[in-house]
Amino acid sequence: MPEIRNVDAGDDRQLLIDAARRVIADQHTSPRRVQRTLRVGFVKARRLRDLMQDAGIIGPPVYDNRRPVLVKREDSAAAIAVLSQELTADA
């Protein structure tokens, strides 16, 4: 499993967790899919995608601006556990 980093998602932490669960389960990511499944706007979906990249869930864009999912389905519980942790003041 790649190194998963906890990121400061602010008030969007639960949305980030939900988006990460969906992306890992589908092994596919796109702002449009996140937008439809979580019922958020396009800008919020892009922000969630960027947060997932910062966290190490998905990689940077490659061919045709697609982003590979770095976390395999069998590692999803561990990845979600890291995202679920509260950030400490020194993090």
Per-residue pLDDT of the chain (91 residues; tens, 9 = 90+): 778 888 888 889 999 999 999 999 999 888 888 899 999 999 999 999 999 999 999 999 887 778 899 999 999 999 999 988 865 544 4
Could you tell me which of 22, 25, 17, 19 has the C-alpha nearest to residue 73? 25
pLDDT at 89: 46
DSSP character string of 5-29: -----GGGHHHHHHHHHHHHHHT--
pLDDT at 91: 47
Cα–Cα distance, 12 to 20 (Å, whole number): 12
DSSP secondary-structure letter at 82? H
pLDDT at 72: 95
